[in-house]
Amino acid sequence: MTDTDQQSTPFPEIKPVDTGPELGRFMTAMRRLQDVVVSTDPDQDLWADAAGQIEELCARLEVHRAPQGVAPAGRGPHLPGLGHPLMPPWTMTEFGPDGVVMEGHFSRFHVGGNNAVHGGVIPLFYDWHFGMIVSAADRANSRTAYLHVDYRKITPIDQPLVSHGRIHSIEGRKAFVTATMTDSDGNVLSEANGLMLRLLPHQP
């Protein structure tokens, strides 16, 4: 596919879907697997046996491949991380044009060192949060032009956290967005600001 072809491909329409409890259970198991993989030290035979079981599951799921916008992962607003294993297990507790509030936690899978959340995971979270903010303000089909994070304190794992975000200002296609993450005591762990650029109809 050439650059011209990519530029002429419209942004796919992504709609929320009611996935039912089965996908939620599956994603919970996936997240547990991610945590277990980075926090255990079994013998080599068990690694090999586990790899075979995972490969078998992949083969079973592979025959059900679906295009973006049809596959339910990432489209379950009632599920932690929207039902997508890349996203940390947070859920939206407020969603509207005035802003989006998200609550959740990070786990062992997200550790960078010494039980602190990896510094790269936090911008990933904010990028996702910013996407939800512009969607809530009816500015869907936007992409991140830049994202800046100020790390104020170590972000812990396995503790309840909250992130409040909103659109600070709008200039045409540009939405300037801010968000702040706090712990249960109200301590500011990090702050972020960014620019979300609404795409033109022909932009991917």
pLDDT above 70 as % of the chain:
94
**Does residue 13 carry a pLDDT above 80?**
no
203 inside domain: no
6 close to 204: Cβ distance less than 8 angstroms = yes
Confidence of residue 20 (pLDDT cuts 50, 70, 90): confident
In the block, residue with structure tokens 């586990």: 50
Q: Which domain holds residue 131?
A: 3-198
44 inside domain: yes
**Does residue 47 carry a pLDDT above 80?**
yes
CA atoms within 13 A on the CB side of 151: 12
114 inside domain: yes
DSSP string, 79-140: SGGGG-TTS-SEEEEEEETTEEEEEE---GGGEEETTEE-TTHHHHHHHHHHHHHHHHTT--
**Counted domains in the chain:** 1
154 inside domain: yes
How many whole angstroms from its chain centre is CA 187? Answer: 23
204 inside domain: no
Average pLDDT over residues 37-54: 95
Which of 199, 139, 145, 148 lies closest to 170, judged by CA? Answer: 139
Amino acid 87: pLDDT: 94
pLDDT per residue as tens digits for the range 139-172: 978 999 999 999 999 999 999 999 999 999 999 9
Report the alpha-carbon angle 115-117-118, nearest 5.
115
**Does residue 7 carry a pLDDT above 60?**
no
84 inside domain: yes
**Does residue 2 carry a pLDDT above 90?**
no
CATH number, domain with residue 66:
3.10.129.10
Checking 119-125 for CB contacts under 8 A at 24+ apart, the result is 119/151, 121/88, 122/149, 122/151, 122/155, 122/181, 122/190, 123/147, 123/149, 123/192, 124/86, 124/87, 124/88, 125/87, 125/88, 125/90, 125/163, 125/181
75 inside domain: yes
124 inside domain: yes
Give the chain's mean pLDDT.
Answer: 92
**Does residue 60 carry a pLDDT above 90?**
yes
